[in-house]
Structures are given as structure tokens and as C-alpha cells.
Amino acid sequence: MRYLFLLFVLNITLHFSQTPGEKRYTSSIQDNLKSSPSTSVKSGPDLENWPPPLQECIVINEVDEYFICASSGINTAAISAMVYSFLNGEGPGNFNISLHPSQSDADNKTNPISPFIFLTTTDYDKVIFIRIERKVDTSCFVISSFRLVITTNPPTNQVSDWEACKSSAASTYSFDLSLKDAEVIGNLNASDYKVFYYKNETDAIARTNELSTLYSIANTSTIYYRLESRGINECFSTGSFQLILNSAPTLNPIADQYFCTNSGIDYSELEAVMAASLSSGSAQDYNFSLYQSQTDAQNSSNPVSANYFSSILNLNKEFFIRAENKYNSPCFSTISFNLIITQAPVLVALPDWLVCANESDGTYANNFNEKASDALNGLDSTLYSVTYYLNETDAHEARNPLDNAYNLSGEQIIYVRVTSDINPDCYAVSPQKFSVVERIDLNGITDYAICTSTGVTVEDIDEMTSELLPNQNPNNYEIRLFQTESASNSDGAGNSLDSLLGITDYDAPIYLRVETLGASSCFEVTSFRLSIYSIPVVGEISDWSVCSGLSDTYSFDLNLKNSEILANLDATQVNLTYYFTEEDAIAQINLISSAVNVSTEQKVYFRISNDKAPDCFYIADFNLLLSNTLDLDSITDLEKCGLDGFSNFNLENKKAELKQQFGNQYSIEFYISQNDAQLTQNEIVSNVYTNIDPYNQQIFVKVSSAEDDCFSIGSFWLFSTEGPTIAAPSNLISCGNAEGDPTTIDLTEKTTEIISTPTNPDLKISYYYNSEEAEADQNAIINDEFSTLQDLVIYARVSEEDIECFSIVPFEINLIHVPEPEIAEIYLFCESNDLIIDAGDYDSYAWINFENETIFSDRNVTITSSGKYTLKVVKSIDGVSCERIVEFNVEEGSGLSSFDYKVETFQNKYQIYISTANDIALEYSLNGSDYILGNNFFTEPGQLLLSVRDVNGCTTLSKTILLPSYKRFFSPNEDGINDTWFIFDNPQISLLQTIVYDRFGNIMTTITDQKRGWDGLKNGKVAKADDYWFLAISTNGAEFRGHFALLR
């Protein structure tokens, strides 16, 4: 067979070793040569004179290494050339040539390497053993080895450009290109590759005009590199990168920078300063940044932020500028300058300065330093200066400043300049008005006295100071109050005249300082004596009321009223006198000097005057009242219905009756004796009182005046009368409604038991649900509408016509509830079983058959025949009996004769259908205890007790069945997998034996040890692949039949 191969160009480098007398082949890369492996020559075992001379057998060229550069594997021509290079010129047709992975494989001609594996190999590096034997004599052979390396062109890595900074004084800059080797080689093995550098791509491809490692340039240049395999020069790739040369900026010195501001400075102002420092070139090619130290500027760390100066108002500090090339950040220069920031003074509208002339010519000897703080407005006086000028121009030009002791006269405008001592160009100018006023023309004030009960008023102050400034406008002055003359002259704190407001007691000299507004140095002081006396005022004085008893007059000693009137006053500071008229009290005439005799009522006036100022007085009045006792003979008695002579009497209602009779100004108290009432002891405090003397008791009442000590004592009687005579009735027992509805009760059945003479027309009987309603005769029960669902207590009230007395007696209503017997409407009677029915718990029973005969009178009955039956049950309480009657039918039940079942498998489970020939209601179970109405079951494998019974319980049928889990197929081919058929172990199933049959019924095997199963042999012979059947028999005789498949 002939093969046609499509050849492609391959770069192959051969490495040969040199032996004496042979043609020499050398490698172009001597440093890659390795020591030649030894050559072995072997002969067959049956040849004589072995071994022959080596030159007479096979002479080969020793090849150390093959390096092949291929992008998609090597073709057959290249493989042939590689192999034929060993033949030393002989024709390849004379030899059998094979390649092997090891020396032993080459010795034994085993595991040859197919040359075709190299057709798609692009990454290979292994030692290969070549065996060359002569075709005419295969016992003559040679074995050698060589390293075969197949590789592709190395990948071209992305190499970054290289930037450098050249000082302005240098013309060139030198680059060490070898520093780029690692980036060019990338992730490749550096020992397998070499890197060369060139000016252009043509030289890089041709490998000509290689650049030296240290390469100098004057301007930015492009460099081309060649990355080639160390073993194969022709296996290479090329790429390029730029050498970028930048120049460092030249910066000029910067003068100190001054800023005057009230809101910080904008960073853009400093950016302009930094840009202006550039000596040459365009500022757009550089980045400028600001630092607080030379080190930070050098390292480009901690630059000053753009908002750093936004709130700084005072600063004097050196800062450092870093200017770096935008295209090469390491290319930079630094320079420093001083930054001085001064807070700009702001002159608000300065207040006018009003001063009092202190020279004889009407001028004022001024000291401007006194006003400097107003101009500085909080600025530091050690950093700013204040100067004064006669005109604004001088102020702005800072010329002709005024002396601090400049004399002022009349009204003048002075210009104030505030200047920074650090930055003289940082200043502010504002005008200020100065006015010189004349001294105050002040009159003296005479001593002044005030009598008041509420304290000094504004009107008092106006009157007091009206003569102080007779010829001047008081609105132009401030008047302050002092307690000493020295304090008023030294301009102490003082108080305003309003501080006198509200004072009620004062007697001392007062010093007034009158000061021109706005000119504190222009003032005068005067004094006078101020006396303030308080009017003694008291609260409302109560009237004086006394009880005269039976007398027509009473003598009042007014001195007994003094303590009440003077309760809140100092008696040593006032005088108290009494009068019959207000006019006498004002005029202080007709003074009452002794006791006052009063027959009905008398008004008395009293006058209280200040002991220091008798004209400071207060007048008020009170009444002298005389009271008499009350007539209590008209109090009515109380009568109440009671029991055995005792009743509960409502004294609260009696108290309300007496208050209505005598008036609410009197208090009412009850006592059991006159002595207790007289001594106000053992008062009856309960609102409801039960008499302690049977049938009648006298109660004493004390009526007292709330205005004086006057009281009267009277009495009334309590009478307790008996109610109608009644008897306690027996409980009313009735049968409860069988349907659960309320039972209607006739309460009048108890009338004859309660009242011995029910026909008495004067007696009235009514019924109530509770004792409270019976007592109050409220919500009486209407007899013809009364019904109840439960037992309850009823209260009967018997009263006599036109008499308040009544009697109450309770009795119970008891309902006998006879629950309906739990008897079914229909019972089924099985011939094989007696039917026993339980009626439940009652007092008596009557079982009646369809012939209306009572067949049984106990709780349980045994029914032996079908038919219609009646049950009557009775419950009794205290001789009252209540019954319930129910009817039921007994029918003959049908028995169950037999049942069948069908089993199907369903997803590793069993489905069971149970069927019968009987058309009756049935229940089904898989375990004989849990029954359901359905006859279709899904169940797990196991042993089951199928059970069927009729719902009447007449007949129950059961069958035990097996539902084992077993293999559906097996393949006995001795591979250790599924070689044996068996039934899986189940704790519910105890198997006796399993018999296996073929399709013709022949017994193949009988299994008694279920764990061994069947191995597919019969009498030692292999059974054929086919379907087989089995019969499983349990120890209790249950059976199961199934089938499975044997596969071969």
C-alpha cells in the first residue's frame, strides 16, 4: 500500500555526537548539547562467531537531540528525515526501524511508538529509544536514544511602554534593555528562551543589527524585541514597546503670598500661583499639587486637599509645590513659598459716642483707646492696630493719624481704620460720630413718703421724680438708684427706678444718678429720704354667731375677736379699734370700749392702722348674730314590717326628711338615748338601723346649727309590725320537655301550701326570681308565661292589701330530664349470635314486643327473633315519675360464605383486590383488626392476614397470604454480579421451602436455605436462559406463586 503525504515546512535542528573516523555533524547551539547515550549492538542467540566486528554490522550516526518547531504537529516527511539521519548514508530500505519509550522495550521490540502520534503533536519533550536492524539479518541490530523536543512559536506578550525622566541639562538617557526580558518572556520557562532587541521589525525577523543591552536615546523611540527558543532559532515571535523620554519641569522662586479674607481662600488662587512658578513650557503638560513638607512633596504623599483653606482665616506657614509631567509622573520638581493668610477686619456700623464736656471751653479731652475694642469687634489687639483720621482719604492712605488725646467738640465724624500688623494691605475703614454734650442741670428732691398696701407704683415714681429735671427732656437721660453716695459716683451697677415697684416697707436715704444716654461720663447725683409704709390688710372676717338659748340678748366681748383679725399681722406694729359705723371708723370717733349687748343682729366696723404712720389704715366689718333653739315636737314616727318584732329602718331617708323640714344649714344626728344626744356620744351612724327593742323603740334626734353651737334635741318612735303568716312549700317537681324546649310550670300549684286560707281576699301572692326583687316588689313573674330549661329557686311574696307588711318564702323547681335511650332504629339479628341491647341508666324499664307484651323489665335485653319492639324507661324524684318511649326494629342479618383475592405488583409494591359473591355491606382488613369499607389495597411485601366481615358482625372470614420480595431476573455468568436468584429476607415471613419449575413444570431445584438461593444449575448443568416459576411455602402453610427470568 502506498501513502501520499502533504508536506509542510518544518524547522528541525539536529544534534549529533562526534566519533573518530566518521563525518562530523555539529549543532549551531553548542550549549544545548548533552552527553551521547551509549549505543548497544546485539545479535541473535543461534549465530556463531558472535559478535562480528561492529563496522561489519551497522554503523549509525549518534544524534543527541531533535528540536522541531511546528505549529500543528510534524508531517511524515519530517519524521522520516529524523529517523533516516541515524543511517549514516545507507538506504533505509535495508533496515527495520522502530521507536520505543524505554531501553527494555527497544531490546525486546515491545511497545513500539507509532510515528503517526507526532502528526498532531505541538508540545513534546521526551527521550526516545530507536532500534535499527537489518532486514536480511534481524539479529544484527543497534539501539540508540535521543531527546525529541517539539514546540511552537512562543506567544507574543503585551509589553508595557517604558517611561523615564531626563533632566533639562542632559541630552540623552540610557536604558538597560535587559530589564525588560522578564516582561517579554512572561510565564514561559526563562531557561528555554532568549530575548534580543532591535530598532525595527525587519531586523528583529532577520536577526540582524541586534542592539546592545545598554541603549541611549535623545527622544522617545520604538524598540522591537525577538523572543526565540534556545534550541531552535527559527522558533520565535516578535513584538514592540516604546521608550518614552520626558523632561523634568524647571521652577522659578516664588515670593511670599499674602491673602486677606473673611471666608478662607479658594484653592484655585493657589493653583494660579503654582502654575506661574513654571519657568518654561506649558502648564497644561504638568500636574501641580501642594504639600506641608518637603518629604511629602518628594513622595507625593498627603497632598493638601482643595477645601483645606476654605475656613482658615489666620495662617503663616511654608508650603511646598510639586510639579510633575502629566505623561510621566516620576518626572517632577519641587519648590517652596510662604503663605500668609490674614483675617480681614470688618467694621460694622460703629455706635455714636456721646460724651460730656470736661473742659472749661466746652470740649472733651478724649482718649481714643477707650473705643478701640468697638472697632476691633473681637479681633486680637496684638495682631491689629486701630488709628483715627479726620477724613476718609487719609484713613485709606494711612496718613495724618490723630493723637489718642485729641480734644473733641460739638459733633464730629472721625474715620476709624483697623489694620493687620502682619499684612498692612489688610484693613477696613468706617466712620464714627462723636458728640460732646453739656453737663446736666439737676434740681434736688424733697423727702418723700408713700402709704400703700400693694407697694410703690409707676405713678408714685413719676410724682417723686417730676421735679428732678425741670428744664430738660427726661427721655435723654437714664436714672439709676443707689443705696450709697460712693456707689452712685463710681458708676456701680445700681438699679433702675422700677426696682422700687412693689416695695411696701422702706425708710432710708436714696441716691439717684442721672446720666446722659450714650455718655456715661456725663452725670449728676442727688439724694432724698424715701419712706414707704404698708397699709395693714386682712382677709375676710367671719360673722360671730352665738346660741342664746331662751334669753333675748347676749353680751359680745369684742376683744375675743382680736386674734382672728390680727392672725396674719404683727400685733406690735399695728393698732386695732372697733366702731358702730364706717364714718366713725374713718374719723376715729365713738370708739367701742366695752362689751356689746345684741338682741337680734349688729354690724361692727374695725380699723387697723400702721403704728409708724397712723394715716396708713384699713377698715372692714363683721356681724354679731344671735340664734334660738328649734321646736322638734312635730317629728313623725316610723313604721316598718318585720319579723318577730324586729325591722330594718332607713334612717338616711329620715335624715333627708328632717333637713327638708328645718333647712340644710342644720346637721342631723340619731342616738338611742337623750343623754347620748346631749353629750354627742354613741351616734347611730348606719343608714339602715334594726331596732333593739322588739316591736317599738324610741330614737332621739339632735339638730345642730352649722353656724353656731346652737342645737335642739327631740325624739320619734320605731314600730315593727308582723307580716302575713305563711308556710314553707315543698319543692315543685316536673318532667322536663323531651324535645329540649323550656318546660311550662304552673306556680299557682304552691298557693295552697303557702297560704292556709288562699281564698282570703286581703292577701296577695306573687312570685319572683330572687329575694331582692321580692323585697322591692319588682319584676314579678307572670304565671301563664313562666317556663324554664333548668332547676331554679322561686321566691313567693305574700302581702296584705293596704298594709306595707309582707312575708317571703322560697321553694325550688326541679325538672326531671329523662334522656332518650341510645337505641338504634334498626338492629340486625344473626342466627349464630344473640342480640343483646343495653338501654342505659334509668330507674325502671319495660321492653315490649310486636305483640304488645312486656318481655323484659331490666336494663339489658336479649332478642332472639326479628320484629318491631318498644322500650319505655322511667326516672323518678320524690314520687314524681317521668318516662321516655322509643321504638326500634330487629331484622335478620345475612352471613358471609366465602371471598377471593387477586394480587398484582406495582412499583416494588403489591396491589390486592378482595372480592365476594355476597351482596351485603362488608368491611376489609389486611391484619384482621383494622377494617375499612374499601376492598383495594396497596401494601409492602410481607405476610398478611386478609380478613372480610359483614358490618353486622355476623360472619368474619380470614386467609393468611405471602407477598415476598424477590429478584425479577438474574444472570449466572460467574462475573460476581447478580449470579444468584433468591427471595429477599423479610422479618414477617418465615419460609419453609421454595420450589423452582421450568415452563414445562419440571422441578429445577428445591431451596430450603433462602440465603443460598439458586445458582442456575440443575444437577450440575447450566440451565438455559428462559422464564421460570416458583412456589414459596411458609412455616405456617401460606403459599405464594411467582415467576422470574434467567438471562445468559
Q: Residue holding cell 389704715?
A: 617
Cis amide linkage into residue 51, ω under 30° from 0 = yes
CA 91, 97, 99 angle in degrees (round to 5)?
145
Residue-wise pLDDT tens digits, 402-414? 888 888 878 889 8
Residue-wise pLDDT tens digits, 796-805? 988 877 667 8
Query: How far is the CA of 151 from the CAs of 190, 415, 779, 892, in angstroms?
Result: 15, 96, 121, 104
The band of 210, judged by pLDDT with boundaries at 50, 70 and 90, is very high
For residues 383-395, average pLDDT: 91
Mapped onto helix, strand or coil, the DSSP state of residue 104 is helix
For residues 331-357, average pLDDT: 85
Q: Tell me what pLDDT residue 527 has.
A: 84
Say whether pLDDT at 967 is over 50: yes
Q: Give 743's Cβ-side CA count (13 Å radius).
A: 21
CA–CA dist 760, 109 (Å, integer): 150
Query: How far is the CA of 321 from the CAs of 276, 279, 819, in angstroms?
Result: 11, 14, 112
Query: How far is the CA of 152 from the CAs of 11, 63, 67, 229, 884, in angstroms?
Result: 10, 22, 11, 9, 113
CB 998 within 8 A of CB 1039: no
Amino acid at 223: I
Task: For residue 451, count other CB atoms closer than 10 A to its CB.
Answer: 15
Q: Tell me what pLDDT residue 803 has.
A: 65
Residue-wise pLDDT tens digits, 627-670? 766 777 788 888 887 778 888 888 998 888 888 888 787 889 99
Mapped onto helix, strand or coil, the DSSP state of residue 334 is strand
CA–CA dist 969, 978 (Å, integer): 8
The band of 221, judged by pLDDT with boundaries at 50, 70 and 90, is very high
For residues 414-420, average pLDDT: 92
Q: Which among 889, 897, 945 is positioned nearest to 920, based on CA atoms?
A: 897
Task: For residue 824, count other CB atoms closer than 10 A to its CB.
Answer: 11
Residue-wise pLDDT tens digits, 546-566? 776 546 677 888 888 888 888
Q: Tell me what pLDDT residue 84 has.
A: 81
Q: Tell me what pLDDT residue 548 has.
A: 63
Please give the backbone phi and psi of residue 640, each rounded to the nearest 5 degrees, phi first: -145, 145
H or E element in which residue 460 lies: helix 458-465
Residue-wise pLDDT tens digits, 229-249? 877 777 889 999 999 887 788
Mapped onto helix, strand or coil, the DSSP state of residue 912 is strand
Q: Tell me what pLDDT residue 556 has.
A: 84
Burial bucket for residue 920 (CB in 10 Å: 0-12, 13-18, 19+): middle
DSSP assignments along 742-782, one per residue: PEE--GGGGHHHH-S-TT-TTEEEEEESSHHHHHHT-S---
The mean predicted confidence, pLDDT, of the chain is 83
Say whether pLDDT at 1023 is over 90: yes
CA–CA dist 1020, 998 (Å, integer): 16
CB 604 within 8 A of CB 578: yes
**Which residues make Cβ contacts (< 8 Å) with residue 920, sequence separation at least 6?**
894, 896, 950, 951
Say whether pLDDT at 78 is over 80: no
Q: What is the pTM of this model?
A: 0.33
Question: What helix, strand, coil percent values describe the chain, rounded to 5?
Answer: 15, 40, 45
Q: Which among 739, 828, 738, 837 is positioned nearest to 845, based on CA atoms?
A: 837
The band of 492, judged by pLDDT with boundaries at 50, 70 and 90, is low
The band of 36, judged by pLDDT with boundaries at 50, 70 and 90, is very low
Q: Tell me what pLDDT residue 10 has.
A: 34
CA–CA dist 774, 765 (Å, integer): 11
Q: Tell me what pLDDT residue 22 has.
A: 33
Q: Tell me what pLDDT residue 44 has.
A: 38
Q: Tell me what pLDDT residue 673 has.
A: 92
Q: Tell me what pLDDT residue 1 has.
A: 25
Instruction: Determine which of 271-275, 407-411, 765-769, 900-904 has the lowest per-residue pLDDT on average.
Output: 407-411
Query: How far is the CA of 430 from the CAs of 328, 348, 378, 389, 793, in angstroms?
Result: 54, 8, 16, 10, 107
Q: Tell me what pLDDT residue 7 has.
A: 26
Q: Residue holding cell 524505554?
A: 102
Q: Tell me what pLDDT residue 663 has.
A: 79
**Which residues make Cβ contacts (< 8 Å) with residue 593, sequence separation at least 6?**
none
The band of 947, judged by pLDDT with boundaries at 50, 70 and 90, is very high
Residue-wise pLDDT tens digits, 999-1016? 999 999 999 988 889 999
Instruction: Determine which of 118-132, 379-393, 1009-1023 has the lowest per-residue pLDDT on average.
Output: 118-132
Q: Rg of the Cα trace of the chain?
A: 70
Residues counted in the chain: 1048
Instruction: Quote the DSSP letter at residue 384.
Output: E
Q: Tell me what pLDDT residue 708 has.
A: 64
H-type helices in 213-355, by residue range? Answer: 267-276, 294-299
Q: 3-class secondary structure for 297-329?
A: HHHCCCCCCCCCCCCCCCEEEEEEEEEEECCEE
Say whether pLDDT at 848 is over 90: yes
Percent over 70 (pLDDT), the chain: 90
The band of 2, judged by pLDDT with boundaries at 50, 70 and 90, is very low
Q: Give 216's Cβ-side CA count (13 Å radius).
A: 7
The band of 281, judged by pLDDT with boundaries at 50, 70 and 90, is confident
CA–CA dist 676, 698 (Å, integer): 13
CA–CA dist 461, 455 (Å, integer): 11
Residue-wise pLDDT tens digits, 155-176? 888 899 988 887 766 778 889 9
Say whether pLDDT at 11 is over 70: no
Q: Tell me what pLDDT residue 294 has.
A: 92
For residues 461-472, average pLDDT: 78
